[in-house]
Amino acid sequence: MAVSASLAATLAGCGSSQPQSAMNEAGAKAELKGAPAPLKSIRSQANEILDGGTSAFKRRIDQLDGYPIVVNKWASWCGPCRFEFPFFQKQARKHGAEIAFLGDNSEDARDDAEEFLAKFPVPYPSYFDPDGEISALYRGDRVFPTTAFYNSMGKLVFTKQGGYPSEQALVKDIRRHAR
C-alpha cells in the first residue's frame, strides 16, 4: 500500500525533487527578432503578472487573431505546475515568433507567484486570476495545471487538464493543436 501511495505521488508530479529553470530573466525578456508586432508585445511583457481579469484576457485573445495561442494555467503551490514549467519555458522560447504563449496564474497569492517567476522566468506574461474566472473561460477551472490551445482564429480547440509528463508530450500537443 505504501508503495502505491508513493508511486501515485511521484506520477502526479508531487515528489520532492525540484525542476531546474530552463531560462533566466534576461533570456525571458530578450527581444523576439523577426516576430510580428502582436507576438513582440507578448515578449515585451515577459515574466509579468497582468491584472484586468477576464476582460483583459479576452481582449488579448482577440488581439492575437491570426496566431495560435497556448495558455498554461499554473500556481506557485502546484507541484505538477512546477514540474512542467521548464517545458513551457523552452517551447515558448523556441516558438515565440509564430505561436503566442500566455500564462494564467490562478488561485494563487500574487507575492508567491512573483517569487516563483523570479526562479522560473517565462518569455510571456501571466494573467492574475485569483478566483479562477479566466480559467473557467477555457474549461480549466477545476484542475491544476491545465493547458488550453486556441487556433489562429481565436477559437478554443483543446483543453488538457493535468500536467505534462514530458516536454515531448507538450510538443506533441503544440504540433497537433497550435495551428
Rounded to 10 degrees, what is the CA torsion of 155, 157, 137, 104? -100
Alpha helices in 33-156 (DSSP H): 37-44, 53-63, 79-95, 110-119, 133-137
Q: Report helix, strand or coil for 5.
A: helix
Q: Are 72 and 41 in contact (CB under 8 A)?
A: no
- Rounded to 5 degrees, what angle do the CA atoms 30, 69, 48 make? 45
For 141, phi then psi, to 5°, come to -85, 0
Integer Cα distance of 21 and 124 in angstroms? 15
Q: Does position 135 have pLDDT exceeding 50, yes or no?
A: yes
72-117 pLDDT, tens digit per residue, is 999 999 999 999 999 999 999 999 999 999 999 999 999 999 999 9
Q: Domain spans of the chain?
A: 2-177
Q: Does position 54 have pLDDT exceeding 60, yes or no?
A: yes
15-38 pLDDT, tens digit per residue, is 435 677 766 666 666 676 788 999
Q: Report helix, strand or coil for 103.
A: strand
Please tell me the pTM assigned to this model: 0.86
Fold of 2-177: Glutaredoxin (3.40.30)
Residue 49 β-bridge partners: 126
Identify residue 93 by its one-letter amino acid code.
R
